[in-house]
């Protein structure tokens, strides 16, 4: 059904729940998970710090996948989490996106975060939201 499941993660609690759902679904379906972390081009934190953090987030997802025998491919890119999600989905050949409804931003939206909301609007494959 779904051969490649993409799960974007910023390491937040909600994103970690989305990771777990994506991995469990991949295990059940025999799918590959593509773990994605986007280093936000608007942040002013030194790039090296953001890169190290992104690699740790992706390594964590890969380790969870190994524990349940699910292949995880990692993508770490520099860009806009909000605006690049459709392009990343296409480039990774994902046929399902599993994304948390809220990220790490301190400014919570009433319904869902801007990255998840934009994914619903722009991604052309099914999107599963995880709270």
25-74, pLDDT tens digit by residue? 999 999 999 999 999 888 888 999 999 999 999 999 999 999 999 999 99
Element (H, E) at 74: strand 72-79
Stated length of the chain = 131
- Residues 86-108 have pLDDT tens digits of 999 999 999 999 999 876 554 44
Confidence band for 113, pLDDT divided at 50, 70 and 90 = low
Rounded to 5°, angle at Cα 93 from 14 and 16: 15
Q: Which pLDDT does position 107 carry in this prediction?
A: 42
- Residues 68-88 have pLDDT tens digits of 999 999 999 999 888 888 999
CATH of 4-130 among 3.90.79.10, 3.40.50.620, 3.40.50.880, 3.40.50.800: 3.40.50.620
Q: Is the pLDDT of residue 112 over 80?
A: no
Predicted model pTM: 0.90
Q: Which pLDDT does position 99 carry in this prediction?
A: 93
Within 1-84, residue ranges assigned H as helices are 13-29, 47-67
Would you kindly state where each structural domain of the chain is located, as residue ranges?
4-130
As a whole number of angstroms, the distance between CA 112 and CA 131 comes to 9
As a whole number of angstroms, the distance between CA 30 and CA 3 comes to 7
């Amino acid at each position: 059904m779904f051969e490649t499941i993409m799960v974007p993660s910023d390491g937040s609690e909600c994103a970690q729940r989305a990771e777990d759902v994506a991995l469990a679904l991949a295990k059940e379906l025999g799918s590959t998970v593509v773990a994605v972390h986007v280093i936000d081009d608007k942040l002013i934190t030194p790039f090296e710090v953001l890169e190290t953090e992104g690699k740790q987030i992706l390594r964590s997802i890969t380790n969870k996948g190994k524990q349940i025998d699910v292949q995880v491919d990692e993508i770490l890119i520099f860009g806009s989490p909000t605006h690049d999600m459709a392009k990343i989905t296409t480039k990774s050949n994902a046929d399902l996106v599993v994304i948390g409804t809220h990220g790490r931003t301190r400014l919570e939206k009433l319904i869902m975060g801007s990255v998840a909301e934009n994914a619903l609007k722009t991604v052309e494959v099914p999107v599963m939201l995880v709270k």
